[in-house]
């Protein structure tokens, strides 16, 4: 594979907005306000107050730990992400970086500062996650969820005018500090590179809402996260620097539905220096040439923000962008309004076959951590499905759903759904057993290494059986009816195929002559194959992962 070029494109159009474009932008803003994604002034003031309190708390902690009563030592809490970009929604969390001067260690942050936070009356749900790729402290502060990262700079004092975009701050930093700084640096650089911040923010709000409604907003599941969507909108603003927000939204779909992937999206020419950090560069790193949808962060060290995107999830995103282009074309000629662009994706209406993953724990307090682990691995299962010759489409919904306690067990659980479309063949029996075993075994090893506990159940479900897994409200919204509005649980006796104990070519359900076609769940009574496409469903794959003693 030839490495893509790293060239910057110039502006496509410098035309000033027309009156009709400005009017459409106002209608777009009004529609977004009707969707309730903007905070009230009182809510915005409360959010600013939370940041102010955290900043004061952090500065006082640094003074106390350094034992030098000098306000000039510094220390600063720097918000980044959607809040820093000015596109956060009502009820969104705050991502913030705690920047400290030298001689303040990371261990101090996760011990004494963590203890100080635990003593604050505004703080609840406090937990530290030191083992993650980017270590952080999570909490609720006065009703707002906050993620705090930490980085120390090689400076004796931190000035109030500290500019984290200065690459010299990265000199001699450890990897964890450099990764923690990256969020702030990328956010600030994006804002610095867009020609009109107000138009950028309105357009980005629209695109983020669209992506969430269409089910393509999730970095962990292999779609695009907030920073990737922000960079695509910023690129559109660079290509049409004088356009109104409504035109930027339209051109966004035009540009990226036709983008020649895997050519990278760049907001600026990659910075070259000798600080020694690894950067995304397919001319040097062969592995970078195989990234499906590279969107490159503008600050050094440049990274691909879409590392999790596979060819299949890229195709899903491009398909949705193509649909969005058709809708915005109609909006631009007055044949549709903005409501149509933000219509919810009918995920359950688009598929007939599903794989359901149920993550459950005995105690509610363990569920969030366990579900986070499962969610981080689901994209690998989808990738395995994509490699199956009989699977045409495998698409996971970013939404999680609470489990229905039909059996009355009382366990806490959450569900993910993968919609599947199969290739059209005569007399097709589909075998996904190995795919699920591969996923399950890797998940088991990871859970044991991380000392996590919980259960994971994976099984195949037809559309007509969704009423056993989803609430009546969700089904109604998807246009799916359950008989008499009642969740039905079959009482029919089942025969179980113990696929985990027998080789795939050996005896299954008393029939040694045929190759079994197994998935997950339960086998309908009787093992005689029919000369039509049919599912034979094997023993449920359920892993009981207990914490090590």
95 is catalytic: yes
Q: 25, 82, 228, 305: which is the annotated catalytic residue?
A: 82
- Name residues whose C-beta falls within 8 Å of residue 490's C-beta, 6 or more positions apart in sequence: none
CA gap 521, 542 in Å, rounded: 10
226 among annotated binding-site residues: yes
Q: 59, 108, 128, 147: which is the annotated catalytic residue?
A: 147
CA-to-CA dists, residue 245 to 233, 248, 249, angstroms: 10, 5, 6
CA gap 250, 234 in Å, rounded: 14
CA gap 543, 520 in Å, rounded: 13
82 among annotated binding-site residues: yes
108 is catalytic: no
223 among annotated binding-site residues: no
Q: 208, 235, 251, 539: which is the annotated catalytic residue?
A: 208
Q: 21, 25, 76, 95: which is the annotated catalytic residue?
A: 95
81 among annotated binding-site residues: yes
Tokens 């635990």 -> residue:
118
147 is catalytic: yes
80 among annotated binding-site residues: yes
Distance, C-alpha 382 to centroid of its chain = 15
168 closest CA partner among 182, 189, 154:
154
Judge contact between 516 and 500, C-beta under 8 A. no
401-402 vs 391-396, strand pairing mode: unpaired
488 is catalytic: no
Sign of the Cα torsion 214, 218, 221, 227 reads positive
- Name residues whose C-beta falls within 8 Å of residue 377's C-beta, 6 or more positions apart in sequence: 439, 442, 443, 446
Q: 217, 240, 300, 460: which is the annotated catalytic residue?
A: 217
Which DSSP string corresponds to 88-140? PPTT--EEEEEEE-TT--HHHIIIIIHHHHHT-TTEEEEEEETTSSS-EEEEE
Can you say which residues are annotated as belonging to the binding site? 80-82, 89, 93-95, 147, 208, 217, 226-227
Active-site positions read 82, 93, 95, 147, 208, 217
- Numbered residues of the known binding site for ATP: 80-82, 89, 93-95, 147, 208, 217, 226-227
**Which residues line the annotated binding site for Mg(2+)?**
93, 95, 147
């Amino acid at each position: 594979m030839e490495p893509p070029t790293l060239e910057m494109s110039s502006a496509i159009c410098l035309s000033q907005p027309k009156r009709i474009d400005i009017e459409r932008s106002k209608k777009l803003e009004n529609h977004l306000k009707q969707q309730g994604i903007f905070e009230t002034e009182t809510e915005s003031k409360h959010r600013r107050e939370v940041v102010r309190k955290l900043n004061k708390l952090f500065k006082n902690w640094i003074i106390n730990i350094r034992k030098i009563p000098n306000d000039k030592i510094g220390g600063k809490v720097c918000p980044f992400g959607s809040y820093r970009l000015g596109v956060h929604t009502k009820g969104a969390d705050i991502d913030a970086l705690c920047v400290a001067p030298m001689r303040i260690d990371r261990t101090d942050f996760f011990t004494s500062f963590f203890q100080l936070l635990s003593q604050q009356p505004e703080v609840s749900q406090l937990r530290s996650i030191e083992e993650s790729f980017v270590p952080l402290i999570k909490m609720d502060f006065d009703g707002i969820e906050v993620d705090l990262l930490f980085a120390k700079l090689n400076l004796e004092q931190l000035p109030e005018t500290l500019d984290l975009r200065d690459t010299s701050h990265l000199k001699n930093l450890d990897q964890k500090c450099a990764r923690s700084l990256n969020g702030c640096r990328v956010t600030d650089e994006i804002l610095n590179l867009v020609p009109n911040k107000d138009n950028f923010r309105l357009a980005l709000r629209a695109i983020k809402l669209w992506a969430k409604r269409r089910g393509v907003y999730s970095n962990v599941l292999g779609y695009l996260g907030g920073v990737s969507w922000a960079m695509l909108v910023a690129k559109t603003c660079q290509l049409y620097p004088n356009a109104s927000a409504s035109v930027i939204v339209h051109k966004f779909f035009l540009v990226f539905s036709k983008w020649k992937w895997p050519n990278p999206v760049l907001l600026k020419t990659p910075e070259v220096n000798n600080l020694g950090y690894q950067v995304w560069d397919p001319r040097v790193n062969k592995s970078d040439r195989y990234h499906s949808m590279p969107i490159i962060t503008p600050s050094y060290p440049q990274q691909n923000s879409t590392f999790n995107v596979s060819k299949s999830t890229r195709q899903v995103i491009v398909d949705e962008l193509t649909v969005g282009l058709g809708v915005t074309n109609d909006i631009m000629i007055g044949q549709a309004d903005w409501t149509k662009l933000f219509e919810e994706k009918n995920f359950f209406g688009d598929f007939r076959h599903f794989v359901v993953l149920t993550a459950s724990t005995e105690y509610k307090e363990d569920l969030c951590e366990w579900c986070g682990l499962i969610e981080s691995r689901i994209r690998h299962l989808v990738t395995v499905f994509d490699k199956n010759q009989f699977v045409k489409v495998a698409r996971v919904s970013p939404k999680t759903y609470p489990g229905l306690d039909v059996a009355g067990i009382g366990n806490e659980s959450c569900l993910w759904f993968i919609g599947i479309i199969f290739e059209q063949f005569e007399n097709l029996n589909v075998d996904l057993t190995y795919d699920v075993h591969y996923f399950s075994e890797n998940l088991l090893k990871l859970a044991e290494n991380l000392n996590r506990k919980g259960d994971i159940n994976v099984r195949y479900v037809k559309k007509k059986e969704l009423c056993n897994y989803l609430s009546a409200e969700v089904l109604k919204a998807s246009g799916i009816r359950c008989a008499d509005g009642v969740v039905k649980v079959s009482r029919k006796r089942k025969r179980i195929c113990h696929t985990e104990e027998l080789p795939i070519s050996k005896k299954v359900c008393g029939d040694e002559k045929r190759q079994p076609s197994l998935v997950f769940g339960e086998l309908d009574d009787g093992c005689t194959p029919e000369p039509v496409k049919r599912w034979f469903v094997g023993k449920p794959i359920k892993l009981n992962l207990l914490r090590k003693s």
